[in-house]
Structure 1
Amino acid sequence: MRSLNGTCVPATPTNVPEPSRTEPALLRNFCIIAHIDHGKSTLADRMLQLTGVVDQRQMRAQYLDRMDIERERGITIKSQAVRLPWSPSEGEEGSGTTHILNMIDTPGHVDFTYEVSRSLAACEGCILLVDAAQGIEAQTLANLYLAMEHDLAIIPVLNKIDLPAAQPEKFAAELANLVGCDPEDVLRVSAKTGIGVPELLNKVVREVPPPVGVKDSPARAMIFDSVYDAYRGVVTYVKVVDGTLNKRERIRMMSTGAAHELLEIGTNSPEMKAADGLSVGEVGYLITGVKDVRQSKVGDTITQLTKGAEEPLGGYKDPKPMVFSGLYPLDGSDYPELREALDKLQLNDAALVYEPETSAALGFGFRVGFLGLLHLEVIRERLEREFGLELIATAPNVVYQVDMEDGTEYTVTNPSEFPVGKIDTVHEPVVRATILAPSEFIGAIMELCQNRRGTLLGMDYLSEDRVEIRYTLPLAEVVFDFFDQLKSKTRGYASLDYEPTGEQTSDLVKVDILLHGDKVDAFSAITHKDKAYAYGVRLVAKLRELIPRQNFEVPIQAAIGSRVIARETVRAIRKDVLAKCYGGDISRKRKLLEKQKEGKKRMKMVGSVEVPQEAFIAVLSSDSSGDGKPKK
């Protein structure tokens, strides 16, 4: 194209919004929430294919699950944001115009609810997905309540309608009753085959409101996630609420005041795609070249360095760790590597907290706080895989408040911190547990909850054959193996969700394990007085099998204070000193045996007990039959 003076100017396309400057009216930010295994990631796959952002050659199942551990376990651990272009079908609202959908795939497990709550804060709407063969489950309810708290537009959807066991009419009525709509308004889709997915995207454009913000005001962007990249440093994911952020602009983190230059800014579709900037309502990423993981805090507000915003956005409530466990390197020289690895993981996982601690048995390590036992497993596996560390994890425990008779108060995150002396009261955290299951298992569930010191709060029938049972339970009873026991007693049909509700006073004691008279703090545990004996018996029996025989006899004792409540003995290895004595006087044999006995006594005074790694790991596993006796 030539101008009037004859010089060439590039032609500019008309009516095509720039990828980084989309009008807020054409944006839709939404996420997919559901119970575990109800098909969130598979639905995200179909959306990626349908909108053409991933071609058939690159496509693979669970495309947005990037970590090996996610793909192996078949679960989503990290939320993933992706930008999708979509033109509604002919006759639909907005047809003929390309809308930009920012979709976030979220985890379903109760341990990763914090990931879900952060994703919801970056959206205006959500798809509530329910399996048409299994119906509403505990995390369905929990995630729905989270979405309601954020005042999101909720689109109810039934998935897996192609399954032979699917009951779409029955569960559509349940879901409609829960959300407050007509059963006809519940969409039926099959994420596996793609049936109903175009209609779902049309409904997202129609029902999810566009983001609201002031375009001409100073920029305010909320950090909702961040990851550490070994080559590019910290990659920060943001949603722009007001104003515009541009490449090469100087920005300021409002909570820390740290200033950085925007080296790169762009969107995920689903791979990183650089742009000139991000405007109101857009979701994208920023790279500032920062290598320090603490400088990109989730929930912080980003603005311009000069003439920036004065008032930050409301951040996220910091997650409180529910379970604590000690992580120690098998080789003590790996301690600095473990610290660095935890630093990097903490950026990828805002719910992870840790502090250094030492153990007489295990050396230097860290006391790490987790949201639950699956969270603990995942973090430990990531440390071992991604950073090549060999670790020992101590038995998980919760946080206790101990009040002494003299008025002193202690916060106990580790059994070794449990105070000695006259204790007045011990407070332990309690949770409100919601269990959904077929009504035939009510008796088994109530028996399990009563054995775990639970208090029944109420029970409601969702339908003729499905019931919701609510209990108050001590957190310590829930985090260890409660879910496994619940699944086994209900043949896998029950689902569980829980949330913290405060504290209660309980009769708790600390059980110590002594090896050869020495306390091993890694085996210590805080348990209810009524269960202390059973715990002691079970643990000493387990350790007797795991600790190899030494050259001297090793007593294994469980004790509360100075009172021993259980004991097992690892017999000494005995060399046959009488092998060469054929007949002869018995006094000769006695003399040799006495000599051997004296030697063993001397060994005993200087000998230290060898404890294999399996013994520490075995404390984590719960293989008791529930009566305090180990299974044969």
Structure 2
Amino acid sequence: PSKGLGVGEVGYLITGVKDVRQSRVGDTVTNYNNPTKHPLAGYKDPKPMVFSGLYPLDGADYPLLREALDKLQLNDAALVYEPESSAALGFGFRCGFLGLLHMEIVRERLERESNLSLISTAPNVVYNVMLDDGKAVIVTNPSEFPEGKILSVEEPIVRSTILAPSEFIGVIMELCQQRRGVLLGMDYLSEDRVEIRYTLPLAEIVFDFFDKLKSSTRGYASLDYEAIGDAEGDLVKVDILLQGEAVDAFSAIVHRDKAYAYGLMMTGKLRELIPRQQFEVPIQAAIGSRIIARENIRAIRKDVLAKCYGGDISRKRKLLEKQKEGKKRMKMVGRVEVPQEAFIAALATDADIEKAKAARK
């Protein structure tokens, strides 16, 4: 054993810590007989900025996912997670990441190193919700969004810097304005290269902003951003209802101006993805109790008149009425089974779809 370590030297301690998770990056080592009163300054715990749910495709893989996250957290101090369950997706984990790149790396490592197939929900940011009674609620998941009277909702804002060829200024500015961006300034670095600075809500760039930026600039643009604080926004929770029941995996917190577009997009997607049932299935998007978009999946209908060759019209009408009553009863008690493929396709981003196509080739 050595009496001490000098500059540039590497050593190790033998401690009585039974669980490695009790020792975190940034902890201060001190003398037992003469302990320090204050930890070493200069270290801040990494604060998660983006949250997403990770669920195993096969429910039996849940213990394997827990074990894989435990191992990954040993060499990634910024990763935080806690168990959560979804009525639609089963048991999984709510994970916090430093940003989009961190989220992609963690998911990629889990799938590659632990041979797991995962579904990830749409990424969310941390919202600070202030209620009328003065109570503050921190929301990292749409299911936690309070239903009561809300005084204000604050969302994280980032200062972003985009470097791109000057020919793409128009499409970049259009994209940023669509994402509620505010232009801070623009500088020409050379005749054909420009730096554009915007403030943007973090929620607007965590989903597919970078993919859209790359595709609209033919891959020439680069993006860098840093958090600058929170700002109040007109945000609402959009629920997707199947047969009148909310499906938590499809809920999202969006800006009020974009709520209708999100509802229309999700109801249209699900109408194509969910197989037809024996009864008509309404798919609705709602803000609270107000329906903002609706699609119907038409019922599979048996031809009950197939054996009626001619004959009395009242007999045919009676058979059709009987079928109609049966469908109505079925609709009252029937449950809609959403296949796993529909969940994966509905929650996938454009980048995920492209990756899946490339893998098939």
Q: TM-score w.r.t. structure 1 length?
A: 0.52
Question: Distance in 1 between the 2:348 and 2:8 partners?
Answer: 50
Alpha-carbon displacement from aligned partner over 1:216-239 (angstroms, at most 9, x marks no partner): 9633xxxxxxxxxxxxxxxxxxxx
Residue 151 of structure 2: SS of its match in structure 1? strand
Question: Distance in 1 between the 2:10 and 2:148 partners?
Answer: 61
Map 1:156-167 to 2 at 5 A: none
Deviates more, 1:487-496 or 1:600-609: 600-609
1:371 Cα deviation after fit: 2.5
1:293 Cα deviation after fit: 4.4
Correspondent of 2:312 among 566, 580, 585: 585
* Contact 2:244/2:282, CA 8 A, preserved across alignment: yes
What amino acid does structure 2 have at the position aligned with 1:389?
L
**Pairing 1:506–2:233 present:** yes
What amino acid does structure 2 have at the position aligned with 1:245?
G
Question: Distance in 1 between the 2:319 and 2:145 partners?
Answer: 48
Which residue of structure 1 lines up, in the alignment, with residue 11 of structure 2?
245
Which residue of structure 2 lines up, in the alignment, with residue 109 of structure 1?
none
Which residue of structure 2 lines up, in the alignment, with residue 569 of structure 1?
296
Question: Distance in 2 between the 1:382 and 1:595 partners?
Answer: 56
What amino acid does structure 2 have at the position aligned with 1:460?
D
Indicate the structure with greater helix content: 2
Task: Identify if the C-alpha distance between structure 1 residues 304 and 405 changes in structure 2 by more than 3 Å, giving closer, same or farther.
Answer: closer
Question: Distance in 1 between the 2:40 and 2:4 partners?
Answer: 12
Residue 594 of structure 1: SS of its match in structure 2? helix
Deviates more, 1:417-426 or 1:355-364: 355-364
Residue 577 of structure 1: SS of its match in structure 2? coil
* Contact 1:361/1:520, CA 8 A, preserved across alignment: yes
Correspondent of 2:143 among 416, 423, 439: 416
Which residue of structure 1 lines up, in the alignment, with residue 189 of structure 2?
462
1:304 Cα deviation after fit: 8.4
Question: Distance in 2 between the 1:311 and 1:370 partners?
Answer: 28
Residue 14 of structure 2: SS of its match in structure 1? strand
Which residue of structure 2 lines up, in the alignment, with residue 24 of structure 1?
none
Residue 419 of structure 1: SS of its match in structure 2? coil
Map 1:393-408 to 2 at 5 A: 393-408=120-135
1:482 Cα deviation after fit: 0.9
Which residue of structure 1 lines up, in the alignment, with residue 249 of structure 2?
522
Residue 245 of structure 1: SS of its match in structure 2? coil
Question: Distance in 2 between the 1:618 and 1:298 partners?
Answer: 38
Question: Distance in 2 between the 1:384 and 1:350 partners?
Answer: 19
Question: Distance in 2 between the 1:396 and 1:373 partners?
Answer: 8
1:453 Cα deviation after fit: 0.7
Map 1:109-128 to 2 at 5 A: none
1:374 Cα deviation after fit: 3.7
Deviates more, 1:466-475 or 1:607-616: 607-616
1:536 Cα deviation after fit: 0.7
**Pairing 1:482–2:209 present:** yes
Task: Identify if the C-alpha distance between structure 1 residues 311 and 413 changes in structure 2 by more than 3 Å, giving closer, same or farther.
Answer: closer
* Contact 1:218/1:309, CA 8 A, preserved across alignment: no
Question: Distance in 2 between the 1:405 and 1:308 partners?
Answer: 47
Correspondent of 1:346 among 44, 68, 73: 73
Which residue of structure 2 lines up, in the alignment, with residue 218 of structure 1?
4
Alpha-carbon displacement from aligned partner over 1:577-624 (angstroms, at most 9, x marks no partner): 22222221122222222222222223222221111223322333345x
Task: Identify if the C-alpha distance between structure 1 residues 494 and 364 changes in structure 2 by more than 3 Å, giving closer, same or farther.
Answer: same
Larger relative contact order (CA 8 Å, sep ≥ 6): 2
Which residue of structure 1 lines up, in the alignment, with residue 54 of structure 2?
327
Which residue of structure 1 lines up, in the alignment, with residue 358 of structure 2?
none
* Contact 1:511/1:558, CA 8 A, preserved across alignment: yes
What amino acid does structure 1 have at the position aligned with 2:11?
L
What amino acid does structure 2 have at the position aligned with 1:439?
S
Correspondent of 1:597 among 305, 312, 324: 324
Which residue of structure 2 lines up, in the alignment, with residue 156 of structure 1?
none
1:433 Cα deviation after fit: 0.2
Q: Which has the larger radius of gyration?
A: 1
* Contact 1:218/1:308, CA 8 A, preserved across alignment: no
- CA RMSD in angstroms, aligned pairs only: 2.6
Task: Identify if the C-alpha distance between structure 1 residues 479 and 244 changes in structure 2 by more than 3 Å, giving closer, same or farther.
Answer: closer
Residue 125 of structure 2: SS of its match in structure 1? coil
Which residue of structure 2 lines up, in the alignment, with residue 381 of structure 1?
108
Which residue of structure 2 lines up, in the alignment, with residue 538 of structure 1?
265
**Pairing 1:550–2:277 present:** yes
Correspondent of 2:84 among 357, 380, 384: 357
Gaps of 5+ in 1: 1-215, 220-239, 253-258, 261-289, 624-632
Map 1:42-191 to 2 at 5 A: none
Question: Distance in 1 between the 2:185 and 2:119 partners?
Answer: 41
Task: Identify if the C-alpha distance between structure 1 residues 384 and 594 changes in structure 2 by more than 3 Å, giving closer, same or farther.
Answer: farther
* Contact 2:250/2:347, CA 8 A, preserved across alignment: no
Alpha-carbon displacement from aligned partner over 1:160-216 (angstroms, at most 9, x marks no partner): xxxxxxxxxxxxxxxxxxxxxxxxxxxxxxxxxxxxxxxxxxxxxxxxxxxxxxxx9
* Contact 1:512/1:521, CA 8 A, preserved across alignment: yes
Question: Distance in 1 between the 2:229 and 2:83 partners?
Answer: 27
Alpha-carbon displacement from aligned partner over 1:227-263 (angstroms, at most 9, x marks no partner): xxxxxxxxxxxxx7477637xxx534xxxxxx37xxx
* Contact 2:54/2:93, CA 8 A, preserved across alignment: yes
Question: Distance in 1 between the 2:261 and 2:201 partners?
Answer: 18
Question: Distance in 2 between the 1:612 and 1:478 partners?
Answer: 29
Residue 124 of structure 2: SS of its match in structure 1? coil
Alpha-carbon displacement from aligned partner over 1:466-494 (angstroms, at most 9, x marks no partner): 22111110001111111111112222111
Alpha-carbon displacement from aligned partner over 1:4-60 (angstroms, at most 9, x marks no partner): xxxxxxxxxxxxxxxxxxxxxxxxxxxxxxxxxxxxxxxxxxxxxxxxxxxxxxxxx
Alpha-carbon displacement from aligned partner over 1:554-590 (angstroms, at most 9, x marks no partner): 0000011111010000111112222222221122222
Residue 251 of structure 1: SS of its match in structure 2? coil
Task: Identify if the C-alpha distance between structure 1 residues 427 and 339 changes in structure 2 by more than 3 Å, giving closer, same or farther.
Answer: same
Residue 276 of structure 2: SS of its match in structure 1? coil
Which residue of structure 2 lines up, in the alignment, with residue 446 of structure 1?
173
